Structure 1
Amino acid sequence: MDSFKDILEKSQRRLSDIADKLDDQREELSEDAAELWQQAKPKLGSLKESLTTAALSLQSQGEQARLQAHLAAMDAQDQWSYLSKTMTELTRNAQQKGRTELESAELQAHLAKMDARDFVNQQGEALSKDYQQAREKIEQASHTAMKELERSLEIIGKSWSNF
Structure 2
Amino acid sequence: MIIILIETFVLVFIFAILLGSMLFTAKSIVFGRYLNRYFVVSRNGKGAYTLHHSPAFGFYYAHREKYSRLQEDAIRKFKAGYPDIELHSETSTLQGYYAKLGLSGTPVQQNRVERVIGIGMNYFLILMNPANYRKRNQQEWQFIHLMRRVRVSTPMQYVILSLNEAQKHDDTRE
Q: Which structure has the larger Rg?
A: 1
| Structure number with higher strand proportion | 2
The TM-score, its normalising length taken from structure 2, stands at 0.18
The TM-score, its normalising length taken from structure 1, stands at 0.19
